[in-house]
Each structure stands twice: as structure tokens, then as C-alpha cells.
Amino acid sequence: MRLEKILKEKFHFSSFRKGQKEIIEDLVKGKNVMVMLPTGAGKSICYQLPGYILDGTVLIVSPLLSLMEDQVQQLKSRGEKNVIGLNSFLSYQKRKSALQSIHRYRFIYVSPEILQSAEVIHALEKIKISLFVIDEAHCISQWGHEFRTDYLKLDDVKKKLGNPPCLALTATATSMVIEDIIHQLDLPDVAKHIYSIDRPNIAINVKKIDSLDDKIKTTIEFVKSLEGPGIVYFSSRIWTEKMAMILRENGINRVAYYHGGLENDDRLLIQQQFIQDQLDVICCTNAFGMGVDKANVRFIVHFHYPSQIESYLQEIGRAGRDGNPSLAILLYCNDDHDLAKSIVLHDLPNDEEWSLVFTLVSNSKQKPSLHELELLMYERYGISEIKWRFMKYQLEMEKVYVNGSVNPNLYVDDAKINILNTVHERARLKQRDLADFKRWIEDEDCCRRESLLWKFDQSLEVHPESCCDYCKFDIQKFKKTKNTSKTYEFTDWKEELKLIFKQSGEGQNG
């Protein structure tokens, strides 16, 4: 069957986007494939379409539950019944039932954490995995911008499942990160499909602001004047709520805030309202964006800037997925870097927290099991889940814990030195990435787009008409041409979700 015919029948598209067909052809041949496609380029088609050709199940590792659920719902809306997401949203009974009938699923989405469950692995070992997909594969690299320790265990999982062909996907990775991904996954004879990270339809505007008050005023002006919908990114949850309130006070009614502290139902509602054009502006942290399949986002504003170039590219890449002109604005003032420095190491355990762990582990009377230590760190000492995952991984890697118990033959001081060296190296890497991004922000002597591409060993072939603030462009092209103000009355979230899912649409997701 011709690939174009399946694309039309299953996904309702008449042609492939750049790179998709070549990637799919290699996967159908059974090759290991490493792919870098820019955000919004339709990466999901690259593994979903082969699922209708290959004999067996496509297993997709996805780092975010919201992203996973969105992909599952999209496939179901296209008529695919044999798809499931194995994650914490499933009750124990539903998960048990799913594992008992695992053979009937064509697509199985999993988190890297759930693949550490012996029960899940035992069920997956009984079926044929035709393709092992790792989305957001930069998470597997220690040099990547969103390093996740559970990703490092995926090579062992792959081997337990019979070493099926592997597809590693990312939107932003340097040459060093790409090689590390291939090494960590042990992918021999891998076919590489590395495409430019450039999104020529997105104009880049970096604007220095004198003070915080001026930054607030400038944000209000942009949100009022620019053609929407739009997303405004912040580094703190408090600021998302504060700016949403300020915008409403200034006559912008169709606005909501979004951050990781909201309940799952509230986050799902806001996400769906934005997708369905019931909201014009989202004030959010970086918790918002992945899995939001919205093609017509016209502007991205960074009120606070992220800690590395890769995150910035991912976030501005949520604009203009329909290919139409869009605008990315980054506002900064002198005080911003102090905030960025305080945030960049927030999820990394500090020396005091490690000292606490080793004091507990070295307790001569009663050494806690790994599970007991986890409860202590969460409940008594308030360690975040992200920090604990990193700690747990390091404790197991250094064999401080073996099979959940403290290793009686280990010299603890040596392990402590090794772990602290690893943590300090990771801290230096994060600080270096932040410094690189700060230099890019403050550099006014070259094209923004060209200097972004240089970091990824890529070059700019053609300057788009609306390029960046250095190259100059007409910002009036991105302004509203008429009064498009709308009102929207919020009702009970359960009623909202019923209404929204009746209207669910289709589209190629990035």
C-alpha cells in the first residue's frame, strides 16, 4: 500500500510534510532512526503511520501525561480503537485489565517511569513490539536540556523487549546531544534525519525594558495590539496568576493562567478551551505547551526568559504551526538574570540535601530502605519529586542501594564524593547554558536567527522577510486589523469538558 494512501485514509492529509516520508520509509524497512524535526513539524505521524504497516505494536515513551493523553485522544478521534496510555490516570483495575488484554493494542503510550514496573514489562514481553519510540529523546542525554534519569534505563527496557527497531525523536538537540542519545540507546547502524531547527515563519524580537513596571505595561500593549491567540511565558506560578488578573483589569477578558500547581481537571479544561478558541491568551509557566495541538497561535511573549536556548526554541515553536506568519517576543531587563540564576538550580539537590541523605544512610542503628528514605524525603523534608528521582538514580548508580537496601559493603564516603562531583558538574552545565542564552539575548550585533542556528551547527540559507529585531521587520504586520474582542462565559468545568470534546478536531501534532 502506498504511504500516501494510508496518510489520506487514516490521517486525512493529502501530502507529507518535509522529512516525514523519508523517516517512515526507513522505519518500515526496520531501521533504527534518529530524528530531529522542529516543533510543530508533525513528528507523531512518523511513528503513527508505520503502525498501520508493521506487524505488531508500536510502543511510545512520552515524558508528559498531558502530551500522552492528547496523543491518545487524537488517535481515538480518528477512529483508532486499539490505543491506550499506561499512566497514573488509569485506576488499578483499568491498568490490570489493560495489561491482561495488552495484545489487542496497536499503539501503547507509556511514561518512562511506568516502564520500571515489573508487571508492565512482564506484560509487554508477551507481545511483539514492532517499533520502540522515544519522544523528547534529548531527555536521555546528560547534556540535554531536560535530563530525566528514568530515560537512562530505556536501553535495558528495549533489550528486555527483544531489541525492536527504535525511533528517537527530538525537536532541539545539539550535535553532542544527538550522539549521546545514540550512544545511550545503543543504536547500531542508525539512520539520521536531522533537519533545521529554523522556523522561518516566526519573527524573533528581543526587547530590552528599563524596569518591571515598564515590562508589565509593554506586555499589556502587545497582548492588546497583536493578532492572537497568544501565549505569555513566566518563570513563576505567582506571576502567571498576577498577569492574568492585570490583563483582565485592562479589558482582556478571554485570558486564563496555567501552571503545574493547578488540579488536573482545571489544567485539562484550560488547555481545551484554548485549543477550541474559547480563550485568546494563556499566561503560563513552561508546564503549558507540550501536546497542545493548536495550529493558529500567532504570538509568544516571554515575560521571563528560560534558562537555555533549547527551551526557548521549543516554546516559541508553539506559534505558527499552520505555517502563517507569527511573532516571538522576549522582554528582558537587568534584574531578570538574578531570577534566572535562582531558578536554574531549583530542581537539582544541593549539598545540604545530599548531606542529609548520607547522614540517614550512614545511621549505625537503623539504615532506611530505599522506600523508607523516599517517604522521609517527601514527607518530613519536603524534597520535590524531580529532586528525589535524581537522588534515587544516583544512589542506585553508585550502588549505595542494591535491591532497595543499603549496600553493607559500600564505602559511603567514596560514593558521596562521586555523587557530589556529578551534581556539581551538572550545575556547571546548567549555569553555562544560562550564560550562553544571556549572551544571545544581549548580543545586538548579529542576526538572532543565524546565531541560534550556529549553536546547532546549522546555517541560515535564506533570510525571511520578517526575520528578527537585528534584521528589522514591520511589526505592524502582526497587529490586529480590526476589533476582534469577544466575551466568553465560564460554566462548570464538567459541562465545559462535555461541550469541548464534542467539538474535538484533527491536526498533525508536533
Domain parsing of the chain, residue ranges? 3-194, 202-341+481-502, 351-434
**Residue pLDDT, tens place only, 162-190:** 999 999 999 888 888 899 999 989 888 89
Give every CB contact of residue 486 below 8 A, 6+ residues apart in sequence.
253, 254, 280
> 52 and 6 in contact (C-beta within 8 Å)?
yes
What's the rounded Cα separation, in Å, for the pair 426 and 428? Answer: 5
- DSSP letter assigned to residue 445: S
How far lies 354's CA from each of 276, 341, 404, 423, in Å? 46, 21, 18, 10
Statement: residue 92 has pLDDT above 80: no
Q: Band of the pLDDT at 496, cuts 50, 70, 90?
A: low
- DSSP letter assigned to residue 307: S
Instruction: Return the CATH number of the domain spanning residue range 202-341+481-502.
Output: 3.40.50.300
> 470 and 440 in contact (C-beta within 8 Å)?
no
- DSSP letter assigned to residue 506: -
Nearest to 397 by CA among 369, 418, 427, 366: 418
In this prediction the pTM is 0.80
- DSSP secondary structure, 356-369, as one string: HHHHHHT-SS-PPP
Span 3-194 CATH architecture: 3-Layer(aba) Sandwich (3.40)
**Two domains, one topology: 3-194 and 202-341+481-502:** yes
- pLDDT in the model for residue 509: 45
**Residue pLDDT, tens place only, 450-485:** 999 998 888 888 889 999 999 988 999 999 886 554
- DSSP letter assigned to residue 21: H
Q: Which three cell numbers stand for residue 293?
A: 495541538
Residue type, 185: L
> 191 and 168 in contact (C-beta within 8 Å)?
no
How far lies 460's CA from each of 204, 261, 438, 463, 467, in Å? 14, 40, 21, 7, 11
Nearest to 498 by CA among 255, 256, 272: 272
Instruction: Name, of 76-85, 106-115, 153-162, 199-208, the range with top average pLDDT.
Output: 199-208
**Residue pLDDT, tens place only, 271-329:** 888 888 899 999 998 878 765 778 899 999 999 988 888 889 989 988 998 889 999 99
Place of cell 526554541: 313
